[in-house]
A and B are shown apart, each in its own frame.
Chain A
Amino acid sequence: MSEVFTIDFSYSTSHLIFPRIIIGLLILLGAILLITNFLKRLRDQSKVFKFKLFTDNYDKAKFYGSIVLLITYAVSLEQIGFFLSSVIFVTLLTLLYIGNLKRKSILISLVNSMSITFVFWYVFGQLFDITLP
């Protein structure tokens, strides 16, 4: 009995013990989940498998636009620095979400981006001496 409760412990491989246990449990649970799901579907033929990534009529422009802007923002941080990239990012993102290019919208997004970036830059970068990109 005692052997069941013993794990071969060795210092140099001690970093692998816990991950192995967790991976084992994940595989076990994953298998159970798959099988029960499969059985459910066998019993209940009406539920055809349908996996939908997006909700109906999802907003393509805003969704993909956000992803592109986020990635560009992260890249540009290293290239052109925190201040400039943040102003551009916030302006574009605000405009994207407002969804039109009226003069008022442009004004709102510009004011929003400049003031916010400035406040963050000043308070965190200058006052608190936090490392900014």
Chain B
Amino acid sequence: MQFFEILTPMTILLCSLGVFIGIVMGAIPGMTATMAIAIFLPITYALDMIESIGLLIGLYVGGISGGLVPAVLINIPGTPSSLTTTFDGYPMTQKGEGEKALKVGVTASVFGGFFSLAVLYFFAPMLSTFAIDFSSVEMFLIILFAMTIIASISKGSLLGGIFSGLLGILISLIGTFTINNETRLIPPGFESELIYGFTLLPVLIGLFAVGQLLEEAEKGMKASAHQKIKLQKGDTKSKFSFRLFKNQKVNVVRSSLLGTFIGMLPGVGGSAASITAYSQAKNFSKNPKELGKGSPEGVVASESANNGLIGGALVPMLSLGIPGDSTTAILIAAFLLQGIQVGPLFISSNPDLWSGMVFALIVANIAMFFMMFLTVKYFAKIVFIPKYLIFPIIIVACVIGSYAINNGIMFDVWTLLLFGFLGYIFPKLGIQIPSFLIGFILGAEAEKNFIDTLQGSGGDLSVFFTNGPVAIVLWILILGSIIFSVADYRKGKKEEATYAS
């Protein structure tokens, strides 16, 4: 199959346009890649199949990548999967290294993208039944594994971090349980508003964006120290160079691999990819203390994993007809609307479409890299826009995004404000927002896999330990991750104590 036979200039153009729109939407707090694809889905009917794949893949790659911009520059994750990018990206900006952080993120993204593409291209047919080996038992354990990050990112009190995570899980359970259509935990009077629980997006941006607005308002909206720093005044530390990746090789590969792997598992949820990659980067790091304080290592882990997710999520879609995350679920719809079944026979019966898809991924990743890398200089200037101008704009964007996420639900705007207020009050009560959010993001999937397992075993919990070698390995990983982060936490405490005395 020749590249240009399949990819017409029109397809390449549409793909690049998709990347551009995706980046812009991903970068606006409140808009996500899933939303971008959902908006363009009805339009694709008018295009031919390869063109529409090009457009949608462009939107997907752009949307996931664009999320890093607000995460790094204004401490608001543009999409849920860039949550962990804020952990180190924003501290870098505070140190005056915003541009460097963005370039690190973009480079890591494109690496993750190509890595997962390679896995997809060479192994997709082989991996077809891979996902089946992971039953609900293993899925639950993988989510548990992702949750161990709570132990490693806890600031101050470890128990407080776990408490915050559990609280997040509890809040995510509000609403209807999909298996038996029964509602639970709904405060009286909100039966119809909370029938499906709180929507993730308004919760996420409420906690970050609105919470931050209130915090800044309390302090009087004064310009932050880093807004006065002149970027890159000649000192090499704040400059980006590809050499930075020299000792990040292992980290990049590990994170991309984790991202791809988690993407392959339907029912684990895309955001788990960057979360797991981040916590493992911290566990394996030579200077685990630096992570969370503005280390490029953290940005690399998070961004290579969330782009690695893309190729991974396409594996079960193409081999089993099961979407790996919410975005691929909409991609499947695009195929079905044109009467093409996505499943075990897709690759063998549609070789042209399959190569078209791979080529579109290549084009999208290259386009993403150049569009973002070359414009970073200008993007980074966002930091210097005075707060009194940028905050009102962010709020309007968040309101639009919240209102539109479920196609016009006013309650989602109230959710945004409610969680904005909580985002302000939580830190003062000792509740840690990142841990809370991780619980919230992963809670519902954890429950579903837990109950599915119980339903299969008739209530017997021992299956979690006896379900075969994969489960045992996962338990070892979970325990290892916990022991590692607790030891690290203790060491940090001790050092603090010796400092103090």
Q: Which residues of A contact B (CB under 8 A)?
A: 2, 5-9, 11-19, 22-23, 25-26, 29-30, 32-33, 36, 52-55, 58-59, 62-63, 65-67, 70-71, 73-74, 77-78, 82, 86, 89-90, 93-94, 97-99, 108, 112-113, 116-117, 120, 124, 128-133
* B residues adjacent to A (C-beta < 8 A): 39, 157, 159-160, 162-163, 166-167, 169-170, 173, 177, 179-180, 182-185, 210, 213-214, 217-221, 387-389, 391-393, 395-397, 399-400, 403-404, 407-408, 410, 413-414, 417, 420-421, 425, 428, 446-447, 450-451, 454-455, 458-462
Contact check, B392 vs A113: say whether CB atoms are below 8 A apart: yes
Are A67 and B170 closer than 8 Å at their CB atoms? no
Residues from chain A with a CB closer than 8 A to the CB of B167 are 26
Asked, given contacts A6-B460, A70-B417, whether A62 binds B221 with beta carbons under 8 Å apart, the answer is yes
| Given known A16-B184, A70-B417, A132-B403, contact A78–B410 (CB-CB < 8 A) | yes
Contacts of B399 on A, CB cut-off 8 Å? Answer: 73-74, 77, 86, 133
Smallest beta-carbon distance A127→chain B, Å:
10
Please indicate the chain A residues that have their CB under 8 angstroms from the CB of B166 in the complex.
Answer: 22, 25-26, 29
A22 to B439, CA, bound (A): 11
Cβ-neighbour of A58 out of B219, B400, B403 (below 8 A): B219
Q: Provide the residues of chain B in CB contact with A78, threshold 8 Å.
A: 410
Q: How far is the CA of A16 from the CA of B447 in the complex (A)?
A: 10
Closest 10 CB pairs of A and B: A9-B459, A97-B388, A15-B177, A59-B220, A131-B408, A5-B461, A18-B447, A15-B182, A62-B217, A66-B217
Residue of B nearest to A24 (CB): B166
What is the minimal beta-carbon distance from A123 to any residue of chain B, in angstroms?
9
**Pick from A17, A36, A63, A124: contact of B400, CB under 8 Å:** A124
Shortest beta-carbon distance from B420 to chain A in Å: 7
**Other than the known A97-B392, A130-B39, what 7 A-B pairs have Cβ atoms closer than 8 Å?**
A15-B177, A15-B180, A30-B163, A116-B393, A116-B396, A133-B399, A133-B410
Bound state CA distance, A131 and B403, in angstroms?
8
Whether the Cβ atoms of A18 and B163 lie closer than 8 Å is: no
**A117 and B221 alpha carbons, distance in the complex (Å):** 22
Asked whether A6 and B455 contact (CB < 8 A) given A59-B220, A74-B413, the answer is: no
Partner of A63, one of B160, B180, B218, B391: B218
Is the CB–CB distance between B213 and A66 below 8 Å? yes
Contact of B218 among A16, A30, A55 (CB under 8 A): A55
Residues of A within 8 A of B184 (CB): 15-16, 19
Contacts A14-B455, A16-B184 given: A130-B404 contact, CB under 8 Å?
yes
- Assembled-state Cα–Cα distance A7/B460 (Å): 6
The answer to whether B403 touches A133 (Cβ under 8 A) is: yes
Q: Which of A5, A53, A71 has most B Cβ within 10 Å?
A: A5
Kindly provide the distance from the CB of B211 to the nearest chain A CB, expressed in whole angstroms: 11
Question: When the two chains form their complex, are residues B460 and A120 in contact, meaning their CB atoms are under 8 A apart?
Answer: no
Are the CB atoms of B395 and A33 closer together than 8 Å? no
The CA of A73 and the CA of B399, in the complex, are separated in Å by: 10
The answer on a CB contact under 8 Å between B221 and A8 is no
- Would A97 and B387 be within 8 Å (CB), given that A22-B173, A59-B219, A63-B218 are in contact? yes
- In the complex, what residues of A have CB within 8 A of residue B221's CB? 59, 62, 97, 99
Closest beta carbon of chain A to B130's beta carbon, Å: 27
B460 CB contacts on chain A under 8 angstroms: 2, 5-6
Contact (Cβ within 8 A) A93 B391:
yes
Residues of B within 8 A of A25 (CB): 166
Choice from A29, A66, A77, A94 contacting B413 with Cβ under 8 Å: A77
Assess whether A93 is in contact with B392, with CB atoms less than 8 Å apart. yes
Tell me if A18 and B450 are in contact (CB < 8 A): yes
Closest chain A residue, CB of each to CB of B213? A66
- CB neighbours of A6 from chain B (8 A): 459-461
Least CB distance, B465 to chain A, in whole angstroms = 9
Q: Is the CB of B396 within 8 A of A117?
A: yes
Contact A90 B396 (CB under 8 A): yes
What residue of chain B has the Cβ atom nearest to residue A113's Cβ? B392
B163 near A33: Cβ-Cβ < 8 Å: yes
| C-alpha gap A10/B162 in the complex (Å) | 29
Could you give 11 example pairs across A and B, Cβ below 8 Å?
A7-B461, A11-B180, A12-B180, A14-B179, A15-B183, A18-B447, A22-B173, A77-B399, A90-B393, A97-B388, A97-B391
- Chain A residue numbers with a CB within 8 Å of B425 are 53
CA distance A59 to B391 in the complex (A): 16
**Residues of chain A within 8 A of B458, CB atoms compared:** 9
Q: Which residues of the partner chain B approach A8 to less than 8 Å between Cβ atoms? A: 459
Complexed CA–CA distance, A98 and B221 (Å) = 8
Check B219–A14 contact: CB distance below 8 A.
no
Minimum CB–CB distance from A114 to chain B (whole Å) comes to 12
